[in-house]
Amino acid sequence: MEALHGKWKLDKSKNINVEEFLTAQGYPQDLVAQVSSADGTFEATPDNGKTRVVITSSGRPSTSHLVAVDEPFQLSTPEGIVLTCKCTVEGDGRFREHYSNPAQGVEFTTIREVKGKTMKTETTAKGGRMTQVFNKV
């Protein structure tokens, strides 16, 4: 996961289909508006053989998770949904995150692909897809 290490800043100008995706997933319009307009960062640092991931988004509490490849862990969304996540490496600079909570009918996948100082994320769920781009700072 070393390719992810460092701090990455969201480039909102490169968002694709974010509002439509969140709306299709059933998020309330006030949350869709807040998430689509928020500034955000993704920071990954090594931590005793694992990776500490801290995600910030303006107007929302930051989250921090200790992640190991192929080891499922649980996290809570700001909306209070508990998800199981498993991260896998798909190749040099390409990572898959699978999130689920079958009891609440939640399941989605995020692919992160790092090329140089750019990290592209594609999130898919229920047939929809959104794309975001982060630049290394």
If one counts the domains in the chain, the total is 1
Sequence-ordered strand ranges (E) for the chain: 6-10, 40-47, 50-57, 60-67, 73-76, 82-91, 94-101, 106-115, 118-125, 128-136
What single DSSP character describes residue 102? Answer: G
DSSP-derived 3-state class of residue 48 = coil
In angstroms, the CA 65 to CA 77 distance is 12
**CATH number for the domain harbouring residue 30:** 2.40.128.20
What's the mean pLDDT in 83-90?
A: 95
Domain span including residue 124? 2-136
Report the pLDDT value the prediction gives residue 77, as an integer from 0 to 100: 78
- pTM here is 0.89
Question: Contact, 92 vs 107, CB < 8 A?
Answer: no
Report the pLDDT value the prediction gives residue 35, as an integer from 0 to 100: 84
- Given a cut of 90, whether residue 37 has pLDDT beyond it is no
Which residues neighbour 30 within 8 Å (Cβ) at sequence distance 6 or greater? none
What's the mean pLDDT in 87-92?
A: 91
